[in-house]
Structure 1
């Protein structure tokens, strides 16, 4: 499995400056999907494969398998004066990692959860919690930020308890809101609701988890949280979206995005005609008045992709969204000013569009992780996916 990244690269999250001396390493905007580089200069064994990517605004954490298959360790890129930190050898044996705000990261080991501050000179560990290994193998292990009987928050207090009746299966955190998937497929949200990101039909906040009633009776299998929006996938592989749509991140008509598209078209047309003013027949404004633009979608809305397809995974950035179909195609939409949509330009879109790069190279996308302003996609070759029933389920 290989990982590609595109979008914001100011801190070397996609193309690390110490790993790649090419011009691409100095690009703030990586608009072409670029394979994520791997560090080879370290005292520990060279990683075999990147298992997982977790990202925040200024960092990327990559969980690796090792040559001796004894566990996993982690590498991250972070601006430390003029330096970047690479492999963190003490993370060997780490089973899961969660990229937090600032210089913080959470690491899950077999017997404990650690929160590290990589900029802390006196030692990286700032908080730790012992955990007991589960003896019940029937349920999948909890993934960060979920931990036993609670979750890891982005700021102190780091441990936040959850009511036992929720029976949490998956949790996703936005900057100031959370979305939780229960074992029965019910969805709960809480936190800041100023942009409709809680899906309760209002702009009010919630201090405690509250069920999204509009989805009641429709079992879900995945959830994702962005800057001010949320998404979830039903058991029937339908995609639901809600929250802020200022940049088209919900895939619904956005006035700002349409205006930007019109300005881009008019600018190109003006260049082709030596800046002559194009005639205005008056139809554009009339059509705009008829079209309904959505700034805030406070209730979950069913989003259909064109052509119709089933969704198996979704991830949210600050103001963009990415989803994988069961066929292994990647669709993106929303704010694209750093190239985070993968369409090899810096245009925004309020309509889901397929990232053609992967189809052109006969690559199937198996996982996607959105950073704040960038996107990372795990891929396998088409022929490998067709030969392996396990990969077909990814």
Structure 2
């Protein structure tokens, strides 16, 4: 009988540095595995070689190439060059600290800054599992970059709700549900139809008139989810992370005809190939510089999204998890290392009668928060 609990975190993918990925052994975990501290964890932020976990008791713990812990924390954000920790202060104030990851959170931080949250209680570590707001600061008027200057103010007219950083670009979702992007654009990850860089936040005109609920930035690709559950995706498609035909996967020999197993509306399996209506082979897509609408199997509506370096994960409104893109280390959770250029449901959570509530991707791994079906 399943243990009575509010929910737990699961991990899968690359763990070559000893990242906490449940009971997995070796350098890869190919199927979702419960984290040993999964019941207590409320937030997860994963970099390439280590992961930061924030517990409901307000402790941040590091696992992987670096270790360490600190108490009195409200949030944490991990990158290879910088570890951000938001620590509780007196009253509504909070103290943001930037640490060198190998410092083990000992000694003095590289930089510190006092911030005042927009509203008290927004970052309550005892609340429902989530991925946190960092690198957007609680004041929603600035964000933190892993490269100096660490503190970067936003224009006063930008009322940020969410901010995500890719390898070379940034995405911002404002209070009205509009999406802005800036930074490097050489892989089309900004969504403006060009490969040019943008120094300042620029509105995605292709999405005007559509209200977005969430954004995610991969290494060099971008995804957003609308309030109606639609997915829009753009940028680099080198490993199929846009769920579009890609030459790299075809040349692997595994997807030469781009055959893939999908589901009919009645749940039966069906084969599909990458061919257009006139029978010609579907074109390969290396870069998609404009947002493209993506349909999930069975007409599922999306609720949550996260991106790894070259893979994508989406949670549906019914609590199912779909993943696609680069899968070399098992980060797609399908019990193998196959890369996919189409969304595939992670059957583990269906088989275990679990409903997925949150997902956060590291560059080469994935973390998922799930509850037993029928429980809030």
- 1:137 positional shift: 5.3
C-alpha separation in 1, matches of 2:154 and 2:116: 18
Aligned to 2:283: 292
- 1:288 positional shift: 9.1
Matched, 1:256 2:248: yes
Aligned to 1:104: 83
- 1:240 positional shift: 0.4
Matched, 1:303 2:294: yes
Q: Which runs of 5+ in 2 are unaligned?
A: 1-6, 125-131, 258-274
Q: How does 1:129-208 map to 2 (within 5 A)?
A: 129-134=113-118, 136=119, 143-147=133-137, 148=139, 149-208=141-200
Whether contact under 8 Å (2:185, 2:195) holds in the other structure is: yes
Identify which of 102, 108, 113 aligns with 1:119: 102
Matched, 1:382 2:373: yes
C-alpha separation in 1, matches of 2:28 and 2:64: 17
Aligned to 1:75: 61
Superposed CA offset, 1:172-210 (max 9, x none): 000110000011111000000000000000000000000
1:357 is paired with a residue whose SS is helix
Matched, 1:128 2:77: no
Compute the TM-score of the two structures, normalised by the length of structure 2: 0.84
Q: Taking structure 1 as reference, are residues 125 and 260 closer, same or farther at Cα in structure 2, changes over 3 Å only?
A: same
Identify which of 244, 248, 263 aligns with 2:236: 244
C-alpha separation in 2, matches of 1:10 and 1:372: 13
Matched, 1:349 2:340: yes
C-alpha separation in 2, matches of 1:315 and 1:342: 14
Q: Taking structure 1 as reference, are residues 164 and 154 closer, same or farther at Cα in structure 2, changes over 3 Å only?
A: same
Aligned to 2:35: 36
Whether contact under 8 Å (1:367, 1:378) holds in the other structure is: yes
2:374 is paired with a residue whose SS is helix
Aligned to 2:303: 312
- 1:291 positional shift: 1.4
C-alpha separation in 1, matches of 2:78 and 2:347: 29
Which is helix-richer, 1 or 2? 1
Q: How does 1:13-92 map to 2 (within 5 A)?
A: 13-15=19-21, 24-25=24-25, 27-38=26-37, 49-66=40-57, 72-80=58-66, 85-86=67-68, 88=69, 91-92=70-71
Identify which of 2, 7, 12 aligns with 2:13: 7
Whether contact under 8 Å (2:83, 2:101) holds in the other structure is: yes
1:194 is paired with a residue whose SS is coil
What value does the CA root-mean-square deviation take over the aligned residues?
A: 2.4
Identify which of 213, 223, 226 aligns with 2:215: 223
Whether contact under 8 Å (2:41, 2:55) holds in the other structure is: yes
- 1:104 positional shift: 2.7
Whether contact under 8 Å (1:188, 1:212) holds in the other structure is: yes
Identify which of 350, 358, 361 aligns with 1:370: 361
Q: Taking structure 1 as reference, are residues 204 and 34 closer, same or farther at Cα in structure 2, changes over 3 Å only?
A: same
C-alpha separation in 1, matches of 2:191 and 2:255: 32
Whether contact under 8 Å (1:201, 1:298) holds in the other structure is: yes
Aligned to 1:275: none
Q: Taking structure 1 as reference, are residues 245 and 264 closer, same or farther at Cα in structure 2, changes over 3 Å only?
A: closer
Q: Which runs of 5+ in 1 are unaligned?
A: 39-46, 67-71, 266-283, 385-390
C-alpha separation in 1, matches of 2:117 and 2:342: 44
Whether contact under 8 Å (2:315, 2:356) holds in the other structure is: yes
C-alpha separation in 1, matches of 2:332 and 2:186: 26
Q: Larger C-alpha radius of gyration, 1 or 2?
A: 1
Aligned to 1:332: 323
- 1:308 positional shift: 0.7
- 1:120 positional shift: 3.6
C-alpha separation in 2, matches of 1:55 and 1:254: 27
Aligned residues: 338
Superposed CA offset, 1:30-83 (max 9, x none): 112111123xxxxxxxx96110111010111111013xxxxx111111325xxx
